[in-house]
Structure 1
């Protein structure tokens, strides 16, 4: 989320490419928002930081950032990150980058796991204090986002890549996503099965101790104590049949920053066809450019349709059912059990909304 929008040589932005027809969708932005980063992917929400303002206050939990560069395949993909690595202000560490001692390490020169097979997880470590525009104090969060790597999905090959450009989630549904924390399509950290796997309990379970249910209850208490925080879900890699890379996340960042938060009229949102996707956008315009409806609701893509969408939704539901079964026991707090039971009972979005109340996402409430 700290990367700048990737541009073509003519300054345009390629939002996506239809993997069936080869059609491309391009955008023109005169400029993008300034980025003032607070943390990379590990933030600290210590009780002493909290301001009791209904929001979650966080600060960086790291002194250096572990930057993944598997998407950088050639020179010019991301001039900002490339410049930081080629001309760093102080020595930095490279992992799985093929370079000789004393040479310039180039981010697109990935080491090979075997002849002809590039390592899927090249990285470099960049000291936090050298990041341009870094924020040096805890900040209160208006918005929490969750990203999912999604596969190409179509009528011929239905899969869980059914997310639109982004979705607005009720807090209860957002909590379920945090509990499961799926690692999706072509995640460099998923090496064995290649399919969707769970990182679990807010993405930090690999670093936690004790019982998952205890951590789940603590996470829910965090949600309950920050009712003014809103939640969004965003895909990367694909929107249905369209290959997009990380562009949906960058467009969402621009859009929500410009409108000043997540407050919508009722004409702008409608319940998604899949409960786990919360609310879908009915329209989206950024810098005067209107996004086609099939980028907002993938069932509108002619290559997908409702039947393939529903098959993809069932893949998501099956995965969540399997992962959430471990949490649905007496060790979990009662409010958490109600949310999980609502999910297993095929509850409606309105029910999920009522189980974990928060500040409304609608302007008229």
Structure 2
């Protein structure tokens, strides 16, 4: 009604009438994964059966016999012609909810907004009613060369490094790792790691924190909310960029669904040969749907989360061009700050996934734009405050989980790509869940960053302290840092005021009020103790 000026009821009736005249494929699936998902149904025109294959690969194959008699918790209706007859050529997905049924009307053929994110919306709706969340996160089991295991769950807005958290560290031809390159002097900073940790993905994008998984042990328990992954391959440019994924894409054990890739019938489809957009440039959103069973080393059991990291895409910050790109390589934050970062969920610098209409974020905040509570807000059909309360409750109920911030693209004046995030992962795994002594923590100059470690040593090598505290970089300095800190602080305040409603949890109100009055890190810790 708000968008089109009319009720959805008549369009819904027309859609159902149109579907009644079609040859349909009826596909049962479990929204939320085969193990913990709710029985659901998709109705797809037979001549759009590739959509059915994508849905089954993403949500898992089941049969009516396996499910038994059921009342669908969700139904996905696919009616592509309505895109042109009713919505002016726009790809539209409409959600129609009741207390017992969530209907997803997909007026398009691309499965991203419906077979994937549409189901995400279903899970958020169910979770809001039942008191649990599906996180917009990836997670990975990291096993060090000493066989120590750590479960890391990585969250953040689009471009925040969720997919990259499950990727191997990229090495130069000589085997060394480029941590960063100074954007002013072009000086590279490289380190050497003889052996890195083994990675076993747990979840890729939709992480179920289902209430039945939780064991009361003080750590969040998670499992994958999908049976397949919608893998974006724009970062694959040539052979060897990611040998594990390339093996799956190029020599699959069964047919795969490719989107926006230049495929030829009866030939190998290469993930770096993207279709061209109308302007002749490669499509920025090439995808492959990969069932989990085709990926090696995937963890199929629920896992307890040891560390929850949050990634932010940061611009370069220099004395001559100050910006909010002042986050150090790794920051330890108390639960209160972890919650605030997830409420604000900044998209950050030059986000490749979601372009803000109008050409970027608010100039007064350096271009920062919020993706909304939990970064799942774009897919939520509930309220922001409701999501904020669920997220706060989840964080408070799991006090043994550690919270960390980590940037990508830049650390102050250094261009780092995802190397800072990868090395943070390596450090956290090698350090394990042991206690961090208070004297090893240094309050960050900007309170929103919590603490930084006094020093970080990986495989016997000390990381330059200026990567931990960008205000100490010669190309940044305290003055430019403080300009960036004000950008962040003003952005947080502008975004957080909307949550101050009567429905907000009282603890949440206290936390937000600390931010609004420029409180110190001690103020946040007083509300939610640091798990160190």
- Regarding TM over 0.5, the answer is yes
State the TM bucket, normalised to the shorter chain: over 0.9
2:5 aligns with none
Q: Please say if 1:93 is aligned against 2:265.
A: no
Q: Is 1:275–1:349's contact at 8 Å kept on the other side of the alignment? A: yes
Match of 1:117, SS state, is: coil
Cα deviation, residue 111, structure 1: 3.2
TM-score, normalised relative to structure 1: 0.93
1:290 aligns with 462
Q: Please say if 1:14 is aligned against 2:178.
A: yes
Cα deviation, residue 65, structure 1: 1.4
| Distance (Å, rounded) in 1 between the aligned partners of 2:245 and 2:289 | 11
Cα deviation, residue 116, structure 1: 4.9
1:129 aligns with 293
| Distance (Å, rounded) in 2 between the aligned partners of 1:94 and 1:314 | 44
Bigger radius of gyration: 2
1:43-77 CA deviation, whole Å, 9 max, x = no partner? 11111101110111111011111222333333333
Q: Which of 360, 364, 370 pairs up with 1:198?
A: 370
Q: Please say if 1:26 is aligned against 2:211.
A: no
Q: Closer, same or farther in 2 for the Cα pair 1:268/1:357, shift >3 Å?
A: closer
| Distance (Å, rounded) in 2 between the aligned partners of 1:262 and 1:253 | 15
Q: Is 2:327–2:407's contact at 8 Å kept on the other side of the alignment? A: yes
1:346-361 alignment, distance < 5 Å? 346-357=518-529, 360-361=531-532
Q: Is 2:207–2:223's contact at 8 Å kept on the other side of the alignment? A: yes
1:166-181 alignment, distance < 5 Å? 166-181=330-345
| Distance (Å, rounded) in 2 between the aligned partners of 1:262 and 1:182 | 30
Q: Closer, same or farther in 2 for the Cα pair 1:11/1:60, shift >3 Å?
A: same
| Count of residues paired in the alignment | 360
Match of 1:38, SS state, is: strand
Q: Is 1:146–1:233's contact at 8 Å kept on the other side of the alignment? A: yes
Q: Is 1:143–1:262's contact at 8 Å kept on the other side of the alignment? A: no
1:278 aligns with 450
Cα deviation, residue 333, structure 1: 1.1
1:138 aligns with 302
1:275-318 CA deviation, whole Å, 9 max, x = no partner? 11111122111011111111111111111111111111112112
Q: Is 1:281–1:297's contact at 8 Å kept on the other side of the alignment? A: no
Q: Is 1:294–1:301's contact at 8 Å kept on the other side of the alignment? A: yes
Match of 2:198, SS state, is: coil
TM-score, normalised relative to structure 2: 0.65
Q: Which of 180, 187, 202 pairs up with 2:351?
A: 187
Q: Which moved more, 1:299-308 or 1:310-319?
A: 310-319
Q: Which of 303, 310, 314 pairs up with 2:486?
A: 314
Q: Which of 39, 43, 51 pairs up with 2:215?
A: 51
Match of 2:424, SS state, is: helix
2:201 aligns with 37
1:329 aligns with 501
Q: Closer, same or farther in 2 for the Cα pair 1:64/1:242, shift >3 Å?
A: same
- CA RMSD in angstroms comes to 1.7
| Distance (Å, rounded) in 1 between the aligned partners of 2:467 and 2:170 | 19
Q: Please say if 1:345 is aligned against 2:522.
A: no
Match of 1:213, SS state, is: helix
Q: Is 2:332–2:403's contact at 8 Å kept on the other side of the alignment? A: yes
Q: Is 1:18–1:243's contact at 8 Å kept on the other side of the alignment? A: yes
Q: Closer, same or farther in 2 for the Cα pair 1:77/1:19, shift >3 Å?
A: farther
| Distance (Å, rounded) in 2 between the aligned partners of 1:74 and 1:13 | 19
2:89 aligns with none
| Distance (Å, rounded) in 2 between the aligned partners of 1:152 and 1:77 | 25
Cα deviation, residue 170, structure 1: 0.6
Q: Is 1:57–1:138's contact at 8 Å kept on the other side of the alignment? A: yes
Q: Which has the higher contact order (CA 8 A, sep 6+)?
A: 1
Cα deviation, residue 88, structure 1: 2.4
| Distance (Å, rounded) in 2 between the aligned partners of 1:101 and 1:323 | 49
Match of 1:183, SS state, is: coil
Structure 1, gaps ≥5 residues long? none
Q: Is 2:248–2:294's contact at 8 Å kept on the other side of the alignment? A: no
2:405 aligns with 233
